[in-house]
């Protein structure tokens, strides 16, 4: 396994290190900003959290930030080793010489590489769950549940991911130079089908869903759905508490399969009017057509990605920069492109997050209008930030790169101004 070094590989390595440096700088910038506000509770949050909770949220943010720096550095080191240590071409040649280069074999190769790349991250993921999250009282998972989740995820990947990989590779043989367009269409169709089937077939493999019991909360939520003309098949409670004390709410599925899902932890943490406001916010996303808009943008981004991949796949220097024989099978190009795409998408994060935050403001405004007052949503947001020990004072540049939702203060100001 020879180490690969040429102008292209040096450029790629430099871009990887540049991204890593930016991530570390952002983390340190944010931690410095948090420490600067770590004394008394800032005036803007005195009605939100008490001093003890605020101090704990600062400690949680600092601990997560330090851990993220270690994790980022570790991941970059693994990526550099994988890309330039000759491991990938060695594995590809092993498969090709032993089993051939059919789409079925190359699908196994890509899946095996993906599985192998996930293994180095397991110790850090385990530490995050059972040490860091445990330290701050969030972890409720057991070793059995944690490992079973990963086994189930692997099996789902084999059943669904492997055939999809084979199909994408088959399009190269079937459709010639336009393979990338057919592959994109197949991926889009797969994602659409999974949006319908996942709530029914996949999510129940990981969590238990039960109908929200008869009572005032159910009546309140159904009345809200009727008022906002939001049709849902059911309102269900998910046992999120078996893994974490973090909470959430969402709706999933399309058409007659659409259902509202509340984490059991959310029901435990919020009063009924606050739960109604949270649901109104989620309905706001639906009514404002945020989900199809974001899916359309995602589809456009993936179309551009497939087109760029088709261009790179024609370049001998792209293969040679990482030790692969030029031309021939497209599987190495697909693998390399997936590993390197983050070098581009990372820098667009502020744009995509600005777009996402804009939608959150709109959903908040819809919820306040549906409730005829903003107080319930404000109460829910405050409690959720308190219970989740959210960072109340992130640095603006950091939040632009990593926050898909506005900060609590930004959301409060927008709600009260509206």
Co-location of 215 and 197 in the same domain? no
Q: Which conformational region is residue 265 in: left (phi greater than 0), alpha (psi within -120 to 50 degrees), or beta? A: alpha
Q: Which of 269, 286, 302 is where one domain is finished?
A: 269
Cβ contact 230:283 at 8 Å: yes
Q: Which conformational region is residue 6 in: left (phi greater than 0), alpha (psi within -120 to 50 degrees), or beta? A: beta
Q: Which of 269, 301, 320 is where one domain is finished?
A: 269
Sheet holding 249-252, edge to edge: 209-211, 234-238, 259-263, 249-252
Co-location of 227 and 257 in the same domain? yes
Domain membership flag for residue 280: no
DSSP string, 371-398: HTSSHHHHHHHHHHHHHTT--SS--HHH
Residues 244, 250, 255, CA angle at the centre, nearest 5°? 145
pLDDT of residue 254: 63
CA-CA-CA-CA dihedral for 186, 192, 193, 194, to nearest 10: 110
Domain membership flag for residue 381: no
pLDDT of residue 21: 98
Domain membership flag for residue 313: no
pLDDT of residue 2: 45
Q: Which two tokens stand for residue 282?
A: 């989620």
Q: Domain count of the chain?
A: 2
Co-location of 186 and 211 in the same domain? no
Q: Which of 248, 269, 290 is where one domain is finished?
A: 269
Query: Residue 251, Cβ neighbours under 10 Å: how many?
Result: 22
Assign 322 to helix, strand or coil. Answer: coil
Q: Which two tokens stand for residue 384?
A: 């959720």
Closest CA to 418 of 347, 357, 365: 365
Q: Which residues are catalytic?
A: 282, 364
DSSP string, 230-264: ---SEEEEE-GGGTBS---EEEE-SGGG-EEEEEH
Cβ contact 326:372 at 8 Å: no
Instruction: Please give the sequence-ordered ranges of beta strands (E in DSSP) within 100-241, or none if there are none.
Output: 209-211, 234-238
Q: Are strands 259-263 and 234-238 parallel, antiparallel or unpaired?
A: parallel
Domain membership flag for residue 238: yes
How far the first Cα of the chain sits from its last, in Å, is: 62
Residue recorded with tokens 């367009």: 181
**What is the extent of the structural domain holding 243?**
207-269
Domain membership flag for residue 159: yes
Co-location of 161 and 211 in the same domain? no
pLDDT of residue 3: 46
Closest CA to 197 of 257, 259, 151, 261: 257
What stretches in the chain show pLDDT beneath 70? 1-5, 233, 253-258
pLDDT of residue 236: 86
Domain membership flag for residue 157: yes
DSSP string, 323-382: TPPSSS-SHHHHHHHHHHTHHHHGGGHHHHHHHHHHHHHHHHHHHHHHHTSSHHHHHHHH
Which residues touch 176 (CB under 8 Å, ≥6 apart)?
none
pLDDT of residue 43: 82
CA separation for the pair 292, 286 (Å, rounded): 9
CATH number of the domain where residue 239 is located? 3.30.2010.10
Domain membership flag for residue 262: yes
Domain membership flag for residue 253: yes
């Amino acid at each position: 396994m020879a180490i690969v070094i040429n102008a292209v590989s040096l450029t790629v390595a430099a871009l990887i290190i540049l991204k890593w440096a930016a991530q570390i700088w952002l983390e340190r910038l944010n931690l410095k900003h948090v420490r600067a506000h770590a004394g008394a509770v800032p005036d803007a949050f005195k009605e939100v959290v008490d001093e003890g909770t605020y101090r704990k949220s600062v400690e949680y943010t600092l601990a997560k930030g330090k851990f993220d720096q270690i994790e980022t550095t570790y991941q970059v080191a693994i990526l550099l080793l994988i890309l330039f240590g000759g491991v990938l071409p060695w594995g590809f040649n092993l498969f090709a010489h032993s089993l051939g280069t059919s789409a079925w074999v190359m699908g196994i190769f890509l899946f095996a590489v993906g599985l192998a790349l996930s293994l180095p991250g397991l110790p850090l993921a385990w530490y995050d769950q059972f040490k860091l999250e445990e330290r701050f009282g969030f972890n409720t998972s057991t070793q059995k549940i944690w490992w079973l989740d990963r086994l189930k995820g692997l099996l789902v990947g084999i059943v669904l991911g492997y055939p999809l990989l084979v199909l994408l590779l088959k399009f190269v043989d079937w459709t010639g130079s336009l393979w990338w367009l057919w592959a994109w269409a197949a991926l889009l169709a797969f994602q659409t089908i999974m949006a319908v089937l996942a709530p029914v077939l996949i999510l129940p493999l990981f969590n238990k869903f039960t109908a929200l019991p008869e009572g005032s909360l159910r009546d309140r939520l159904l009345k809200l759905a009727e008022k906002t003309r939001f049709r849902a098949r059911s309102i269900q409670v998910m046992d999120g508490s078996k893994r974490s004390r973090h909470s959430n709410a969402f709706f999933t599925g399309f058409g007659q399969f659409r259902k509202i899902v509340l984490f059991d932890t959310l029901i435990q943490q919020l009063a009924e009017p606050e739960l109604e406001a949270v649901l109104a916010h989620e309905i706001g996303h639906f009514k404002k057509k945020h989900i199809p808009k974001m899916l359309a943008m995602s589809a456009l981004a993936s179309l551009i990605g497939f087109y760029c991949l088709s261009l790179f796949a024609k370049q001998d220097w792209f293969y040679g920069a990482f030790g692969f024989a030029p031309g021939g099978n497209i599987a190495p190009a697909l693998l390399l492109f997936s590993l390197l795409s983050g070098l581009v998408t990372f820098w667009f994060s502020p744009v995509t997050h600005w777009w996402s935050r804009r939608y959150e403001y709109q959903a908040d405004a819809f919820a306040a209008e549906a409730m005829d007052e903003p107080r319930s949503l404000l109460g829910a947001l405050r409690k959720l930030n308190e219970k989740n020990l959210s960072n109340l004072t992130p640095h603006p540049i950091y939040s632009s790169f990593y926050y898909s939702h506005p900060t609590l203060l930004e959301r409060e100001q927008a709600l009260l101004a509206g």
